[in-house]
Amino acid sequence: MTTLIKDIDIIPMTKEGLIIHSDILIEDGIIKRIEKDINEKADKTIDGKKKILLPAFINTHTHLAMTLMRNYKDEMPNLESWLKEVWKAEDEIRDGELYWPSILGIAELYKSGTVTFSDMYFYPWDTAKAVRDAKGRALLGVTLFGGREETEKRLKESVPRLEESFEGYEGLSYSISPHAIYTTDKGTLEEARDFALKNSKIIHIHISETQKEVDDSLNEFSKTPLEYVDSIGLLEAKTAIAHGVYLTPKEIALAAVRKASILHCPISNAKLSSGYAPVALYREYRVNVAMGTDGASSNNNLNMLKEINSALLLHNLVCTNPNSLKPYNILEMATVNGAKALNMDKRIGTVEVGKEADLLILDLNKTNTAPINNVFSAIVFSASTDNVDTLLSQGIPVLENGRLTTINEKEAILNTAEIWKEIKGRIKN
C-alpha cells in the first residue's frame, strides 16, 4: 500500500521552528521519501494544499477505559477523596467490560490528533483488542497494586494473556505499571524492577502527584517519593513518571541522571487541585518532559489539543518567565518527547524518512485559526478538534476529512453507556 501526500507544509519536529513545503511518499506504513514534486504513482493520494502536517500526538499517560466514569463524582475536593469513590466503581468492573470504553477513548484520541497512548488500567487485553480493531498504537500497562504475593500472581497470570493478545500486531507493547507508592509495597516495587530489567520493559508509575503524597512518604520512609523508589532501584529501569508535580531540586537532578521522563498532565492536576508541575525547570535540568491527559474521569477528556493549550496557558500564569516555554516546546512534549518517554523515538515522534507514518494533518484555514501569523501559536493556542483533518496510524488513515474510518462512533457511545449502567447497578454505597 502506497500513499502520496502532495503539496503540504511539514513540521518535522527535528529542529525548532523548521517548516518545509514538500510531498511525502509512504510505503507499507513507512515514510520512504520527503521531496518536492514526487510523481510516483500511489494507491492513495492526499491533497495537502493549505494544510499542515506534523507527527501524530503521543498521549503518554492515560487510563483509557475510564471513559466509563467521565464526569462522575466531580464534586470531590481532592485526589484522595475522588480516588475513594472511583475505586468503589472499579471494584465492580469485570473482565470483558472494557473493550467498548476503550474504543470510545481511542475515538476521542483520534479526533484530537493522537495515535499512540500509554495506558495504565485493568484488563489490558480488552484494550489491546480495541487498539487492534481501531488500527492504533499503544503501550499497555500491567497494572500492579498491593503486596509481593499479589504482584507475583498478577504478573504470572496477566503477562502471558496480554502477550497473546498482541500476536501478529506490531502496534502493541506493554509496560510494568505499579500504580503508586501509596498503593503498593516495597515487595511489589522490587518485583516490578526485576521484571522490567529482565525483560527490557518500561516502568510507568504515579509519583509526587500531590503534596499529601510527598508528606506521607517523608513520614513513612524519611524520603521523598522519587528518592524512595530510587532507593529500591526502580529507576535502574527506564522509568516514566506520571505527574511529578512536587519534585525537589534534588529529585529533578536525580530524574535527569537516571534518564527518567516526566509525564505532564496539567488539566487533571488543575481539576483535582493537585498543583502545577514546573516543567520549564525540569527542562532546564534536561529532564525529558512529555504530555499526557490522565483519564477521562479526572480530566474529563482525552483531547491532546486542549491539553497542550492548557499546559502553556498554565505555565504562563504561574511562571515568572513565560518565554521559558514556547509553543514549539509544547509541541515537542506532545510528539518527539513522548516517543522518547515510551522508548519509541526510533519509530515515531518526528517526520523523517524511515520512520513509521503516524502523521497528523491539520486544516488551519478555518475561522478559529485564520489568519496564520505563527503556525506554532496557531496549533497550540487556537486549534481545536475541528482543525483535525486526517490522521494516519502506521500509514493507515484512521480519520479522513474529520471522519473516523476504523471506529463506529455511535456504536461505541451506545455500548459504553450500557456497560456503565450495568456497573453502576453493582456499586455499593
Q: What is the pLDDT of residues 13-55, one digit of tens each?
A: 999 999 999 999 999 999 999 999 999 999 999 999 999 999 9
Residue 305 corresponds to which amino acid?
Answer: L
| Residue type at position 269 | N
62 and 39 fall within a common domain: no
Residue 353 lies in a domain: no
Which residue is associated with the grid cell 529529585?
A: 251
- Which CATH number belongs to the domain containing residue 44 in this structure? 2.30.40.10
Which residues have CB under 8 Å from 269's CB, separation 6+? Answer: 209, 243, 245, 275, 276, 277
CATH of the domain at 61: 3.20.20.140
Q: Are 48 and 61 members of one domain?
A: no
Instruction: Identify the pLDDT of residue 56.
Output: 99
Q: Is the pLDDT of residue 105 over 80?
A: yes
- Whether residues 159 and 268 fall in one domain: yes
Residue 54, classed as helix, strand or coil, is strand
Handedness of CA 294, 297, 299, 304 (dihedral sign): positive
Instruction: Locate 347 and state its grid cell.
Output: 519509530
- Contact, 298 vs 64, CB < 8 A? no
Taking residues 160-177, report their average pLDDT.
97
Domain contains 382: yes
Q: What is the dihedral of CA 272, 67, 164, 133, to 10 degrees?
A: -140
pLDDT tens, 281-327?
999 999 999 999 999 999 999 999 999 999 999 999 998 787 899 99
Say if residue 48 is in the same domain as residue 78.
no
Does residue 410 lie within any of the structural domains? no
Q: Answer whether residue 216 shows pLDDT above 80.
A: yes
Cβ-based burial of 250 (10 A; exposed 0-12, middle 13-18, buried ≥19): exposed
Residues 196 and 319 in one domain: yes
Strand partners, 20: 10
Length of the chain in terms of residues written: 429
Domain assignment present for residue 416? The answer is no
Whether the predicted pLDDT of 239 surpasses 90: yes
Residue 114: name the closest of 101, 105, 125 by CA: 105
φ, ψ of residue 51 in degrees (nearest 5): -125, 165
Examine the pLDDT at 428 and tell me if it is beyond 90: no
169 and 45: one domain?
Answer: no
Q: Which residues contact 241 (CB under 8 A, 6 or more apart)?
A: 205, 206, 207, 208, 226, 255, 260, 261, 262, 263
307 found inside a domain: yes
Residue 50 grid cell: 493549505
**For residues 25 and 13, what is the distance between their CA atoms, to the nearest angstrom?**
18
In a domain, 306, yes or no: yes
- Give yes or no: residues 379 and 330 share one domain: no
Are 48 and 193 within one domain? Answer: no
Q: Domain range holding 188?
A: 57-341
Question: Domain check: are 79 and 40 in the same one?
Answer: no
Write down the mean pLDDT value for the chain.
97
* Total of domains in the chain: 2
Grid coordinates representing 413 are 457511545
Phi and psi torsions of 385, nearest 5°? -60, -25
Query: Over pLDDT 90: what percentage of the chain?
Result: 96
Q: What angle do CA 123, 115, 44 make, to 5 degrees?
A: 130
Q: Residue 427 domain-assigned?
A: no
| 178-207 mean pLDDT | 98
User: In 199-221, which positions are buried (b, 16+ CB within 10 angstroms) versus exposed (e)?
Assistant: eebbbbbbbbbbeebbeebeeeb
pLDDT of residue 95: 97
Instruction: Please give the grid coordinates belonging to residue 258.
Output: 537516571
Q: Are residues 232 and 263 both part of a single domain?
A: yes
Please report whether residue 415 resides in a domain.
no
**pTM, entire model:** 0.97
Residue labelled with grid coordinates 510531498: 23
**331-390 tens-digit pLDDT:** 999 999 999 999 999 999 999 999 999 999 999 999 999 999 999 999 999 999 999 999
DSSP codes of every residue in 79-113: HHHHHHHHHHHHTT--TTSSHHHHHHHHHHHHHTT
The whole-number pLDDT of residue 75 equals 84
| Residues 94, 196 within the same domain | yes
277 and 327 in a single domain? The answer is yes
Please write the tens of the pLDDT for every residue from 108-151: 999 999 999 999 999 999 999 999 999 999 999 999 999 999 99
Q: Is the pLDDT of residue 262 over 80?
A: yes
Look at residue 429 and tell me whether its pLDDT is greater than 80.
Answer: no
